[in-house]
Structure 1
Amino acid sequence: MKSDPKVLPLPEAQRGLEIEGHSIDFIEEHERTDKLSTQGPFWFVGNFTFFTMTIGFVGPSVGLNAMWTMIAGTLGIMFGTLFMAFHGSQGPHLGLPQMIQSRAQFGYRGVILVLLATLFVFAGFNIVNLVLMMQGLHTLFQWGPMQVALAVSVPATLLAILGHDWMHKTFKWSLFLSLPLYGLISVAVLMGWIHSTPAAAGTPEAVALGFTWTGFVAQFAAGASYNIAYAPYVSDYSRYLPKNTSSGKLIAAVFVGASLSGAWMIAVGGWLAEHLHATDVLVALNAVGASFAPQLGTVVVAVTILAFLPVIAMNIYSAKLTTITGLDSFRKVKPTASVRIWAILFVVLLQLGVAIAINASGSGLSMLNMYLVVMLYFLVPWTAVNLTDYFFVRKGRYAIPHFFLPHDNIYGHWGSRGLVAYLIGFVVMIPFFTIYNGADEVFVGPLAKAIGGVDMAWLVGLIVSGVAYYLLCLSLDLEKEEKLIRHIESTSPHFSTGKTW
């Protein structure tokens, strides 16, 4: 088991169903057996799913046609992936899960603020995914919500328990399954093999679609938030890379993989929404498959769900790390395999209960739109603070053992600079909030109304939080930290964080 640092890992071909022993602890160099070449395909598969297609439903729901949905979604995905990719470079450099490293900005206990936000993202993604599958499979095959929950959650939970290595293996097989499937669907769309269906009179789909700035920005923000939401994940899956991994090459691999598949799926989703008037992606995919052969629709849906299971497991895995980090912030937790398993079961039961309750309420695409926007609002101040600290303030230099010291650690219990910068950014965003539940206004801030309802809150939050944190850190005693880091490196070289950026 990987948790024993004295035992070198077996070659991959000799491993069985080995349960990962690590959770929130430091990964030593001899255990970092991943390869840079796996990162691009891994993050490509992460976005190469039916759920990403639903992001392309946002544009047509707010007046964009398929072409403008593709353009806005692609630009948004690329923008969000920039932040995601830069976070990924922290994994091999520090050998830590993402949220443990956030203790440097927010403090040993203060990090609980952003942990709650990221747990909302991790569990929330799976909740939305489960609701979409419950609704789609009920419409197509009359499956009950509990049948769907068990069919999806049991294998995904087992995969999350097995851990990091098996996540990478199953993502590879998911690519083999999904690439021919979505390739065929894309070719069918491009060649015009699938014919448009008429919209019901009086429905939003019956309105002629074209271009609106409000719709363009809404689709851009949906794409950006989708991949910014991956920011708290990336180091969790890059921390097993060797320390000397090129940061530039890693950033490029994550960016190309995640943005390429994201843009592809959003484009397909936009076409399905405009031409098939789809509001349920599984029903739409079934119709696409059935247009080739009567039973092919069922095969398309089955392969879609099967290929998506590793993504469900990924959300469970990262939510587990967040849960353990939160517990450890107030009561020291020994990072054993059993702790991982209990944390995973907690996360799974939580998301199952919420998903079943939401499914019973009948919410669907409108819930997805609202969730993506709110998720972006919570994550933007954190990503701005974290990246500003890593690249511009501390420049990659951290006292790694102090991330695990409840008392007398150099980063303190409550990181006032990070917490204040986060709160400043979030509060400044509020007048720019633009939150809708479908066509119904939930909350639109006064400044958002003044600029025509265009959602610029996320951009304001990025700039204000990053600048506020940088200014607050001008009084930070970096020389004191550097002396401590050099002492740690001289006594424990495996904790070295290398040269400054």
Structure 2
Amino acid sequence: MSADQSVVEKHTIGYVPPEDRHGKVRDLFTLWFGTNIAPLPVVTGAAGVTVFGLDLFWCVVAIVVGHLVGGIFMALHSAQGPQMGIPQMIQSRGQFGSYGALIVVVIAAVMYLAFFASNIVLAGQSLHGIADPVPVSTGIILGALGSGLICVIGYRFIHALNKIATWVLGVGIVLAIGAIFVSGLPGDFWSRGGYTTAGFLATVSLAALWQIAFAPYVSDYSRYLPAEVGVRATFNATYLGCTLGSILPFAFGAVVALAMVPGTDVMTGVRDTTGSLGTPLLVLFLLSVISHNALNLYGTVLSMITCVQTFVARWIPTARTRVVLSAVVMAAAAYFAIGVSGDFISHFVDIVLALLVVLVPWTAINLIDFYLIHRGNYDLDSIFAADGGIYGRFNPQAITAYVIGILVQIPFMNTPLYQGPISDNLGGADLSWIIGLVATGPVYYLLARGRKLAPSELTGAVTAA
């Protein structure tokens, strides 16, 4: 078997050369559609009803608005992948410098590790719900092992599984929505909840942040595509796949939340409100958790390798490195998840919201730099150099804009650590992400527009098509 046909992905954080590029841009649609039909988005979508008190109409409107807006940023990051051929976090060195990028890399690793741990908890709970004799802890271990195997095999297998998931889970969740309406709705289904500005804005934010949370690793799954697919096609396939694939389970969660007995766990509500489809749907969700959770483990491992390679520039990580590190992270996460499985999910959204406060300014800086400052023209030799090459170890313009982007969010924040006065006056709605994006982008552009390097300085350049 030739190297390019190997079952296990051979690349880690290095540049993917043209001869190793493969796939079709439409594969991005099925990847992100299939990835998002899972228990966690169902539970998150239900929060619009159970936490923020919206009725079905306004909850669905808020879900759609949030995903359509947040998906723009997510898909713009994805479109960088075929043009650069390197992981998103490595590419951030072109904006922040080799050391400056570390803060974002570490934050991304922690966030995706939290995603991974929460999903194996859900896997354990789902398996226990399907087969009661199976302890939650056993389900957590099995979920971690399944995701770990998919992660080790890597890019091709992840894409293949999500092609299947798009059809099976997509059809399954549509049938489940139909089953709820056919089986008879509770008397207060249409009258329960109502519109509040705070609840609407909070639900929009939750949906938008769901999309933005993918930003630090979304281009990791488009970097193998041939560069000639272009920015527009990559953006469209990713945007449609991720927004449609997210809106469907979020809306399903809202329907379940209104149809189930108040106070019931959402996944139990899925089983109880969908009739004969309940148990088969939970089985599909369990398989979905295991499959798409491999992306979180994959992103965590690449981020950790990036951190180490920053200080050991001569080190060339191999597939074996990725396999060994995946096993270590998987075992540690499973051990942790078993210990906190009782209340981890209830705090998960708060953890992600807190981390996104520091990721949103990075999103703005990365997109402004790629599309407006350098227009996709970066020097790969410098990106992988120990001293950051022409980008240096720290870029003061990016770091200044980044700090400003965090500070301006503080009055609008609503996290477990702090609630700003403006958020408090809005009934708890967290609009910090909007302020962070709007403020950081222009500040960075004004600071960095004179930093664009001349073509003669780009010795190992990769240029966007």
- Fold conserved (TM > 0.5)? yes
Matches within 5 A, 1:477-492: 477-479=452-454, 482-485=455-458, 487-488=459-460
1:10-409 alignment runs, 5 A limit: 10=5, 18-60=7-49, 61-138=51-128, 141=132, 143-189=134-180, 191-196=181-186, 208-276=192-260, 277=262, 280-289=265-274, 291-292=275-276, 296-332=277-313, 333-360=315-342, 362-364=343-345, 366-407=346-387, 409=389
How far apart, CA to CA, are the structure 2 residues paired with 1:331 and 1:72? 46
Query: How many angstroms apart in 2 are the aligned matches of 1:27 and 1:128?
Result: 31
Give the equivalent residue in structure 2 for 1:458.
433
Single out whichever of 49-58 and 159-168 deviates more from structure 2: 49-58
Q: CA offsets per residue over residues 399-433 of structure 1, 9 Å max, x none? A: 01211111361111122222222121112211211
Percentage of matched positions with identical amino acids: 30
- Matching residue's letter, 1:339: T
Shift, 1:72, TM fit: 0.3
CA distance, structure 2, for counterparts of residue 408 and residue 390 of structure 1 = 17
**Which deviates more from structure 2 when the two are superposed, residues 91-100 or residues 324-333?**
324-333
- Retained in 2: the 8 A contact 1:225–1:375? no
Matching residue of 1:447 = 422
Distance change (3 Å), C-alpha of 1:136 and 1:281: farther
Partner Cα separation in structure 2 for residue 244 and residue 186 of structure 1: 40
Instruction: Look up the SS of the partner of 1:476 in the other structure.
Output: coil
Offset from partner CA, 1:471-493 (integer Å, 9 cap, x none): 221342523xx2122x44xxxxx
Measured after TM superposition, the shift of residue 101 of structure 1 is: 0.3
> Contact 2:202/2:428 (CA < 8 Å) preserved in 1?
no
CA distance in 2, matches of 1:498, 1:182: 38
Contact 1:222–1:372 under 8 Å retained in 2: no
- Aligned-pair CA distance for 1:248: 0.9
8 Å Cα contact 1:58-1:369 kept in structure 2? no
Does the 8 Å CA contact 1:74/1:262 hold for their aligned counterparts? no
- What's the CA shift string for 1:1-49, capped at 9, x where partnerless? 8xxxxx6734xxxx6xx11110000000011011112111111111122
How far, CA to CA, are the matches of 1:236 and 1:477 in structure 2? 25
Q: Is the 8 A contact 1:91 1:98 kept in 2?
A: yes
5+ residue gaps in structure 2?
none
CA distance in 1: counterparts of 2:205 and 2:269, whole angstroms = 24
Q: Hey, what's the Cα distance between the residues in 1 that align with 2:283 and 2:452?
A: 56
5+ residue gaps, structure 1 = 2-6, 200-206, 437-441, 489-494
- Cα 1:132–1:300 shift into 2, 3 Å: same
2:300 and 2:205 mapped to 1: Cα distance?
Answer: 24
Aligned AA (1:369): V
User: What secondary structure does 2:156 align onto?
Assistant: helix
Q: Are the equivalent residues in 2 in contact too, given 1:107–1:412 (CA < 8 A)? A: yes
Taking the aligned partners of 2:234 and 2:133, their CA distance within structure 1 comes to 44
Q: Which amino acid aligns with 1:401?
A: D
Quick one: structure 1 residues 197 and 53, their matched pair in 2 at CA, closer, same or farther if it must change by over 3 Å? farther
Instruction: Supply the distance in 1 between the matched residues of 2:332 and 2:97 (Cα, whole angstroms).
Output: 27
Contact 1:175 1:307 in 2 (8 A): no
Residues 194 and 288 in structure 1, CA contact (< 8 A), matched pair in contact too: no
CA RMSD of aligned residues (A): 2.3
CA contact (8 A) 2:56 2:254 kept: yes
CA deviation string 1:375-411 (max 9, x = no partner): 3313211111100111111111100121111136111
Deviations 1:270-308 (A, max 9, x none): 01112213653321222234x23xxx5333212211133
Contact 1:81/1:259, CA 8 A, preserved across alignment? yes
- Distance, in Å, in 2 between the alignment partners of 1:79 and 1:235 is 18
Q: Residues of 1 paired with 2:323 and 2:3: CA distance? A: 23
Give how far 1:371 is off: 2.9
The reply on whether 1:9 has 2:4 as its aligned counterpart is: yes
Report the Cα distance in structure 2 between the residues aligned to 1:330 and 1:278, rounded to whole angstroms.
50
Alignment-derived partner of residue 4 in structure 1: none
8 Å contact 1:221–1:373 — kept in the other structure?
no
Other structure's SS at 2:418 match: strand
Determine the structure 2 residue equivalent to 1:439: none
| Structure 1 residue 64: Cα displacement | 0.6
Residue 208 of structure 1 and its aligned partner are, at CA, apart by 4.3
SS in 2 for 1:56: helix
The one-letter amino acid paired with 2:70 is G
**SS in structure 1 opposite 2:444?**
helix
